[in-house]
Structure 1
Amino acid sequence: MAILIDHGDIGLAESDHRIANNLARLSGAIRLQRNAVSRSGKPLTADQVCQLLDDISARIEVTAKLHKSLAVAGNGNGVHLGNFLEEIAEMIGTLGPERKMNLTVACSGENHIEPRHALHAGLITAELLTNAVKYAHPTGLPVSVQVRYETNDDGSFLVEVTDDGVGFPENFDPTTDGGLGFQLMRALTRGLNAELQFEHDCLGVCARLVKPGTFGGANIESTPAVKGN
């Protein structure tokens, strides 16, 4: 007896499975945030609650934009990293005060990456941009941010976020210190089997997410960011 396969149903099932997995990852990030608030034992001010809801909203938006990118592409090739990051950057820019962030995006390579990798990279980028808007200039001056990305045929990619702010506080170690945002970025980086590097001084912070290729080390040469532009 012949078995008829409805490829449309297979595509829908795969899409539903992907959405479910990504929503589960998002739920995990929100639970991490909830647990951090609970452990602190401190009451939240109205401003802190608003910031908390903005953070959750941003992560939901990142996930939504990922699936929008997949739906628009519709070719099974994955996610165009540059377009995805530009949408995320524009979205983060709307969360803060008007004209708070001056953004430029530089690209190298037009390769697509796996949706799961794109979600992790997008959430990390959103956290880095949010930190830049909130902390780069304590006096309230607009922050200039450059997002740079590279993609390669072997699946390796790089995302670099550079700001022109005041840098990290003295003795701050971004590999171990920081609040929930840094904990989340480190967890997402481990999930990618990637590396999150930081360079910082009084002229700003450069964060660099480096994801190795499928067949070994990344074919990416990281170049120092130009700060203060």
Structure 2
Amino acid sequence: RIEKALKQYAEQLEVSNKIKEEMERVVNSSPVIVFKWRMEKDWPVEFVSENITQIGYTVEDFISGRIKYADILHPEYREKFHSRLEQHPDIRSDQFNQEYRIFTKSGDVRWVDERTFIQTAPSEKNILQGIILDITERKKAEEALLKAEEIRKKEIHHRVKNNLQVISSLLFLESENFKDKEIVEAFLDSRNRVRSMALIHEELYQSGDMSTIDFADYTRNLLNFLTRSYFMESKNIKLNSQIENVYLGMDTAIPLGMIINELVSNSLKHGFPDAIEGNVNVTLELDNNEFTLQISDDGIGFPENINFRQTASLGLQLVTTLVEQINGTIELERNGRTSFKIHFKELKCKVKV
């Protein structure tokens, strides 16, 4: 009976060894590298599959202790790994996935996807068992797609800008076919509105992330355009801007740019009928997550008998509508000068450093 039991055990052991050898062949011929780490500083390696040679190392490099896993991590990830170890001091069972960069033995940088399972018996230290898979080619493909998408977005903004500029030019040319002052003025006002939107797309085309624009730079360009459009150089009417160093999203920047266009245009057309010099000021300040846009001039002042919220002026109607669009509020101050103040919030803004 003993001989029979030993024979059965030997047969089972032989089968187990064959299965083990087969699994080792599968692992070592696959791109997946198997690791077993001790959950200690720098991650000493207790086991690593033989296919570690695909990134230049040998099993002996790690098992001997000459190289710890932290030694092959890219420097920007080492601190993150140590922090993660500190977050799991008492965990009995957990798993996590992460992507990061490592160094091959020759010094090349490769991206890997790690899938790790943390497990330990109550009386033992935590052990990390997991795999890493080289995903460098996938990362390169993703970067190529992102770059192609960026180029596509730039091209869209460039085409929209060009088309808006064509519309602006057509409106200007069409205005020359009329003698009536009000009709000509209506064409030119529409031209300026289109141009204010074209400038937004031009800023987005030049922007790094193409989702926000440098609003200070945009405002300067818009005021320069309005100066030329209304021939302010000959009258010495100065357009001044003091804009907080922020980047605004397109959904806020477009209506805000049109508000500036309307109110500044209104000041230039009606604020200085006889004067040959004066100032129009545009400021944007940020305080406690709230923006305040102020557009003022030192001209003859806004008429006392006109309610800017209830007027036949298309420009002022647009202003009140656009303020509502950005969920803002607007108020008019008449203290010896005309001053419009618009308060609003922009959750997607970025402050320039």
Give me the TM-score of the superposition, normalised by structure 2.
Answer: 0.48
Query: Structure 1: 5+ residue runs without aligned partners?
Result: 27-43, 216-229
- In 2, the alpha carbon distance for the partners of 1:118 and 1:145 equals 20
Mapped partners of 2:154, 2:257: distance in 1:
19
Higher strand share goes to which structure?
Answer: 2
Higher RCO (Cα < 8 Å, 6 or more apart):
1
Please, which moves more after superposition, 139-148 or 156-165?
139-148
Matched, 1:79 2:213: yes
Alignment of 1:17-166 (within 5 A): 45-76=179-210, 78-97=212-231, 98-100=233-235, 101-107=237-243, 109-151=244-286, 154=289, 156-166=290-300
Counterpart residue number, 2:343? 210
Partner SS, residue 220 of structure 2: helix
Residue among 125, 130, 149 paired with 1:10:
149
CA shift at 1:198, angstroms?
Answer: 1.1
Which string of whole-angstrom CA distances, capped at 9 and with x for unpartnered residues, describes residues 87-132 of structure 1?
111111111133332122223x322111121111110001111111
1:57-116 deviations in Å (ceiling 9; x for gaps)? 111211111111111122245111111111111111111133332122223x32211112
Q: Residue 137 of structure 1: CA displacement? A: 2.0
Paired AA for residue 209 in structure 1: I
- Counterpart residue type for residue 163 of structure 1: D
- State how far apart, in whole Å, the 1-side matches of 2:194 and 2:306 are: 29
Q: What CA deviation, in whole Å up to 9, does each residue of 1:149-179 have, x standing for no partner?
A: 124694x422211100111223211122241
* Partners of 1:88 and 1:182 in 2: CA distance: 18
Partner Cα distance (1:72, 1:213) in 2: 21
Larger radius of gyration: 2
Rounded Cα–Cα distance in structure 1 between residues aligned with 2:215 and 2:287: 11
Change in Cα spacing, 1:14 to 1:152, as seen in structure 2 (3 Å) is farther
For residues 287 and 203 of structure 2, what CA distance do their matches in structure 1 show? 19
Identity value in percent: 19
Tell me, in whole angstroms, the C-alpha distance in 2 between the residues paired with 1:158 and 1:79: 18
TM-score (norm: length of structure 1): 0.71
Q: Which residue of 2 aligns with 1:224?
A: none
The CA RMSD over aligned residues, in Å, is 3.0
Asked whether the equivalents of residues 112 and 151 of structure 1 are also in contact (C-alpha less than 8 Å), the reply is: no
CA distance in 2, matches of 1:67, 1:153: 29
Judge conservation of contact 2:214–2:245 (CA < 8 Å) in 1: yes
Change (3 A) 1:152 1:69: farther
Match of 1:36 in 2: none
Which stretch of the first structure deviates more once superposed, 114-123 or 66-75? 66-75
One-letter code aligned to 2:247: H
Judged with a 3 Å threshold, the aligned counterparts in structure 2 of structure 1 residues 116 and 11 are, in CA distance, closer, same or farther, namely same
The aligned residue for residue 191 of structure 1 is 325
Question: How many aligned residue pairs are there?
Answer: 192
1:45 and 1:76 map into 2 onto residues whose CA distance is 42
Unpaired stretches in structure 2, ≥5 consecutive residues? 1-137, 165-177, 349-353
Instruction: Give, in whole Å, the separation in 2 of the partners of 1:12 and 1:118.
Output: 22
Distance 1:206 1:65 in 2: 25
- How far apart are the structure 2 equivalents of 1:193 and 1:21? 26
Inter-CA distance 121–200: structure 2 relative to 1 (3 Å threshold): same
Q: 1:65 to 1:21 in 2, by over 3 A?
A: closer
- CA deviation digits over 1:171-193, x for unaligned, max 9? 21112224100111111111111
DSSP-derived class of the 1:181 partner: helix
> Which residue of structure 2 aligns with residue 30 of structure 1?
none
- Preserved CA contact (<8 Å) 1:99 1:142: no
